[in-house]
């Protein structure tokens, strides 16, 4: 009997020890998974973001890249810019496309431009590991309580690097009758929305209203007809709940 009693105590002690060890490992796993890794992500992001801080050499300007990028975007929106062209050669130049013409906004030293390029690609989810591959990204930007959709096109080359940022605003729903000044054009577009089949091609310069025209037609079709609307876009620029969008 004494031997069996000791054996039972040993078994109970082993089970209790095993229980506490397993519990400890589970707690450590949860702590590492949900606490430490989160802090590591925060630390890595802080280090990565702090790497975008730079001091100008010749112009004595100090930048955080997020502040510099927001400054460029704010000026571009205020100047009614359709595209921002950032070109890296010996120096980094930033130009705004206004009414079809490129207007130089500012120039920066190459080391500032490199940081700016990396920051824009990072923010728009462009894979920085593939620097020589043309890529596109997207970014939503809020300025003065309005949402702007930014389409970022990254086109690197052997001797230069370039990024083009297309600034898109929300296209409000407008009836065709309130949208055009020419009666004949309004009648023509209304007729198009009633056709069962066909091909309608819209062409024009950047910022001339191609997307606005097409989405206004889609809104008119959705409001007057019971249709299932499917769009094929590359890339998908404007968010609309009336259509099923594919890239």
Q: How far apart are CA 56 and CA 186, in angstroms?
A: 54
Backbone torsions φ then ψ of 160, nearest 5 degrees? -150, 165
Alpha-carbon distance of 114 to 82, in angstroms, equals 23
Alpha-carbon distance of 110 to 92, in angstroms, equals 6
The model's pTM: 0.62
pLDDT of 106-143, one tens digit each? 999 988 998 899 899 989 988 877 777 889 888 889 99
Q: Omega into 217 within 30° of 0, i.e. cis?
A: no
**Averaged pLDDT, 72-95:** 93
d(C-alpha 164, C-alpha 235), whole Å: 14
Is the pLDDT confidence value at 98 over 90?
A: no
Per-residue model confidence as pLDDT tens digits over 141-180:
999 988 898 999 999 887 889 999 999 876 666 666 555 5
Rounded distance, CA 215 to CA 232, Å? 13
| CA 73/CA 88 separation, integer angstroms | 18
Mean pLDDT of 178-207: 79
HEC letters along 54-87: EECCCCCCEEEHHHHHHHHHHHHHHCCCCEEEEE
Cβ neighbours of residue 87 closer than 8 Å, sequence gap 6 or more: 93, 95, 160, 161, 162
- CB contact at 8 A, 192 and 217: yes
Between 117 and 190, the higher pLDDT residue: 117
Span 211-224, mean pLDDT? 81
Of 180, 243, 186, 181, the C-alpha closest to 215 is 243
Beta-carbon-side half-sphere exposure of residue 9 (alpha carbons within 13 Å):
6
Residue 186 contacts residue 144 (beta carbons within 8 Å): no
Say what the pLDDT of residue 177 is. Answer: 56
User: Is it the case that residue 200 has pLDDT exceeding 80?
Assistant: yes
* Confidence check: pLDDT of 5 > 80: no
pLDDT at residue 84, as a whole number? 96
The per-residue pLDDT for 63 is 61
Under 8 Å between Cβ of 77 and 166: no
**pLDDT value of position 56:** 42
What tokens does 39 get? 């802090």
């Amino acid at each position: 009997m004494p031997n069996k009693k000791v054996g039972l105590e040993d078994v109970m002690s082993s089970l209790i020890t095993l229980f506490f060890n397993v519990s400890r490992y589970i707690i450590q796993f949860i702590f590492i998974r949900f606490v430490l890794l989160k802090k590591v992500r925060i630390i890595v992001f802080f280090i990565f973001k702090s790497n975008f801080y730079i001091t100008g050499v010749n112009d004595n300007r100090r930048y955080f890249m997020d502040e510099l990028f927001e400054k460029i975007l704010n000026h571009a929106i205020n100047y009614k810019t359709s595209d921002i062209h950032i070109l890296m050669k010996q120096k980094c130049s930033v130009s705004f496309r206004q009414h079809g013409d490129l207007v130089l906004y500012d120039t920066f030293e190459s080391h500032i431009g490199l940081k700016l390029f990396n920051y824009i690609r990072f923010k728009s989810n462009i894979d920085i590991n593939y620097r020589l591959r043309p890529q596109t990204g997207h970014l939503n930007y809020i300025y003065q309580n309005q949402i702007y959709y930014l389409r970022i096109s990254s086109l690197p080359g052997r001797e230069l690097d370039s990024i083009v940022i297309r600034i898109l605003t929300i296209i409000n729903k407008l009836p065709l009758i309130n949208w055009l000044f020419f009666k004949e054009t309004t009648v023509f577009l209304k007729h198009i929305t009633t056709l069962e089949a066909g091909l309608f091609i819209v062409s024009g310069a950047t910022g001339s209203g191609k997307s606005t025209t097409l989405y206004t037609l889609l809104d008119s079709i959705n409001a007057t007809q019971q249709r299932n609307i499917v769009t094929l876009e590359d890339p998908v620029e404007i968010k609309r709940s009336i259509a099923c969008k594919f890239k």
